[in-house]
């Protein structure tokens, strides 16, 4: 297995052989193909929300509400339109989740070829899925593709609170650890925010290289790197 440290690393992270360990994984870019949800999903979801509320608004205002992020601009624009910002954001996200589920169900995104190794890992370790994607979408992916290896599955809650708890905050990773009754293990992701969240939760960060992150140079002090999920068999 390929292991790698950043230039600033002072020691190589290791997994202790004793004790049960959690194997936690990000979803987008690690299990499910593609770096993130297509932005068009949020554009269409905004249209759904506008129709739902029978809202009339200038196009320039609506464009500010298409963003995935809950920003000051988003909140201010809602207020100018007479909308309660957090309520409208939650409604838009509800439609975003529905649109993303439809898109995956229609075959727009599939699984990476190395995902099959999860069944083998599951025989020896508790395996969990923790994602910044919406919880309904994450649950759909697990059911749709029959990913039975995951004993814990969690995406972020819809709405502002869920947005603020997304990685690099460790909230959802810590929720997984509590549910599994463990406090050590690894978290496999494809971005720096994943590595930071793992570090913040006291887990060993593992970066998996995919085509979309070939040039990523994380600034995290210490992490392990793999080129395929199958390398975890050697690593563990």
What per-residue confidence (pLDDT) applies to 3? 37
Q: Does 185 lie in the same domain as 138?
A: yes
Residue 164: which domain range?
22-34+110-235
Look at the block and give the residue holding tokens 């970066």. Answer: 207
What per-residue confidence (pLDDT) applies to 93? 97
Q: Does 148 lie in the same domain as 56?
A: no
Look at the block and give the residue holding tokens 């995919």. Answer: 210
Q: Does 161 lie in the same domain as 62?
A: no
**What's the structural domain count of the chain?**
2
Q: Does 175 lie in the same domain as 65?
A: no
Q: Does 126 lie in the same domain as 212?
A: yes
3-state SS, one letter per residue, for the chain = CCCCCCCCCCCCCCCCCCCCCEEEECCECCCECCCCCCHHHHHHHHHHHHHHHCCCCCHHHHHCCCCCCCCHHHHHHHHHCCCCHHHHHHHHHHHHHHHHHHHHHCCCCCECHHHHHHHHHCCCCCEEEEEEEEHHHHHHHHHHCCCCCCCEEEEECCCHHHHHCCCCCCHHHHHHHHHHCCCCEEEEECCHHHHHHHHHCCCEEEEECCHHHCCCCCCCCCCEEECCCCHHHHHC
CB atoms within 10 A of CB 15: 16
Looking at 70, 105, 140, which one is the last position of a domain? 105
Q: Mind listing the pLDDT tens digit for each residue in 166-191?
A: 999 999 999 999 999 999 999 999 99
Looking at 81, 105, 129, which one is the last position of a domain? 105
Question: From CA 46, how far away is CA 91, in angstroms rounded?
Answer: 9
Which of 31-40, 49-58, 83-92 is the most confident on average? 83-92
15 occurs within a structural domain: no
What per-residue confidence (pLDDT) applies to 20? 86
Q: Decide if pLDDT at 14 tops 80.
A: no
Q: Decide if pLDDT at 157 tops 80.
A: yes
Whether 209 contacts 195, CB under 8 Å: no
Q: Decide if pLDDT at 13 tops 80.
A: no
Q: Does 170 lie in the same domain as 189?
A: yes
The number of C-alpha atoms within 13 Å of 181 and in the hemisphere containing its C-beta is 4
pLDDT band of residue 63 (cuts 50, 70, 90) is confident
pLDDT average, residue stretch 220-233: 95
At residue 113's C-alpha, the angle toward residues 111 and 117, to 5°, is: 100
Q: Mind listing the pLDDT tens digit for each residue in 80-124?
A: 999 999 999 999 999 999 999 999 999 999 999 999 999 999 999
Q: Does 194 lie in the same domain as 120?
A: yes
């Amino acid at each position: 297995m390929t292991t790698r440290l950043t230039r600033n690393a002072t020691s190589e992270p290791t997994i202790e052989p004793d004790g049960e360990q959690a194997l936690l994984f990000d979803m987008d870019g690690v299990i499910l193909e593609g770096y993130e949800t297509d932005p068009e999903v949020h554009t269409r979801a905004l249209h759904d929300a506008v129709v739902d509320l029978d809202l009339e608004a200038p196009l320039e205002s609506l464009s500010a509400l298409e963003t995935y992020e809950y920003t000051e601009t988003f909140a201010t624009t809602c207020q100018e339109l007479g909308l309660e910002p957090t309520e409208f954001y939650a409604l838009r996200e509800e439609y975003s989740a529905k649109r993303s589920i439809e898109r995956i169900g229609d075959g727009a995104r599939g699984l990476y070829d190395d995902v099959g190794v999860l069944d083998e890992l599951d025989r020896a370790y508790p395996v969990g899925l923790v994602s910044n994607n919406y919880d309904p979408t994450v649950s759909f992916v697990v059911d749709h593709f029959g990913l039975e290896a995951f004993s814990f599955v969690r995406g972020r809650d819809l709405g502002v609170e869920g947005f603020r708890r997304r990685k690099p905050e460790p909230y959802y990773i810590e929720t997984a650890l509590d549910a599994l009754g463990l406090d050590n293990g690894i978290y496999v992701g494809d971005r720096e925010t994943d590595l930071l969240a793992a570090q913040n939760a006291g887990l060993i960060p593992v970066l998996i290289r995919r085509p979309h992150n070939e040039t990523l140079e994380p600034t995290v002090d210490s992490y392990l790197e793999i080129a395929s999920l199958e390398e975890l068999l050697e690593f563990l």
